[in-house]
Structure 1
Amino acid sequence: MWGNAFLLSALYLLVGVVVEGALRLFPSKFLQRLSLSLDSLPARALELVGAMEPLRTAFFNGRIPEYGVRLIFGLTTVAVIFLLALVVGTVMGSLRYLIARGMRRGGGNGP
C-alpha cells in the first residue's frame, strides 16, 4: 500500500515537473491546460481545508514566491495520494478480513 502510494505520488510529481519544464520551453495552450488540470487536485484539497485563500493572498502580496506555491502544491498532492491510498487500503483490508472471517465461520461451503 505504501509502495503504491509513493509510486503514484512520485509519478504525479514527475509529470508535473515535466509539464512545467515543457511549458517554460514551449508555451502552448495544451500545456497550460495540462498544468492547470494537474494543479486542480491540490488546489481543491487546500480549498477544502480553508488554506487556499490565505495562500492565494500571500502569493499575490509577494510573501510567497512561485516555487513556494509549487512546493506547497506538491506536498499537498503527496498527502492527498497517501491519504487516498490509506483509505482504499483500509477498506480493502477490512473487506478481506470480513470475507475470511465469514469463510471460517461458514466453512466456505456453498448452499
Structure 2
Amino acid sequence: MWGNAFLLSVLYLLTGIVVESIRRRYHAPFFERLSMALDSLPARALELTHTMEPLRAAYFTGRITDLGVRVVFGVVTVAVIFLLALVVGAIMGVLRWTLMRATRGGGDGPPPGPGRDA
C-alpha cells in the first residue's frame, strides 16, 4: 500500500514537472489546460481545508514565489495520495476480514446440508 502510494506520488510529481517545463517553454493551450488539471487536486484539497485563500493572498502580495506555490502543491498532492491509499487500504482490509470471517462460518461449524438435521 505504501509502495503504491509512493509510486503514484512520484509519477504525479514527475508528470507535473514535465508539464510545467513544457508549459513555460511553449505556451500551447493544451499544456496550459493540462497544468491546470494537475493543479486542481491540490487546489481543491487546500480549498476544503480553508488554506487556499491565505496561500493565494501570500502569492499575490509577493510573500511566496511561484516555486513556493509549486512546493506547497506538491506536498499537498503527496499527502492526498497517501491519505487516499490509506483509506482504500483500510477499506480493503475490512472487506477482506469480513469475507474471511463469512467464509469460515463464524466458528459455528459447517452449515446443515442435504441429509443433515437442520
Q: TM-score range by the shorter chain?
A: over 0.9
Q: CA deviation at 1:82?
A: 0.4
| Structure 1 unaligned spans of 5+ | none
Distance 1:47 1:58 in 2: 15
Instruction: After TM superposition, list the pairs within 5 Å mapping 1:8-27 onto structure 2.
Output: 8-27=8-27
**Aligned equivalents of 1:55, 1:13: Cα separation in 2:** 20
The structure in which a higher percent of residues are helix is 1
Sort the Cα spacing of 1:108 and 1:37 in 2 relative to 1 into closer, same or farther, 3 A: farther
Residue 56, structure 1, aligned to residue 56, structure 2: yes
Larger RCO: 1 or 2 (CA < 8 Å, sep 6+) = 1
Q: CA deviation at 1:102?
A: 1.1
Greater Rg over alpha carbons, structure: 2
Give the 3 Å change call, closer, same or farther, for CA 21–49 of structure 1 in structure 2. same
Q: 1:91, 1:19 → 2: CA distance?
A: 33
What's the Cα RMSD here?
1.5
Q: Percent identity between the aligned chains?
A: 63
Q: Which SS does the other structure have where 1:62 is aligned? A: coil
Matches within 5 A, 1:8-47: 8-47=8-47
The aligned residue for residue 98 of structure 1 is 98
Q: TM-score, normalised by structure 1?
A: 0.94
Deviation for aligned residue 1:24 = 1.4
Unaligned residue ranges in structure 2 (runs of 5+)? 114-118
Question: Please, what TM-score do these two structures have when normalized by structure 2?
Answer: 0.89
- Give every structure 1 segment of 4 or more consecutive aligned residues whose post-TM-superposition deviation is greater than 6 Å: none
Number of corresponding residues: 110
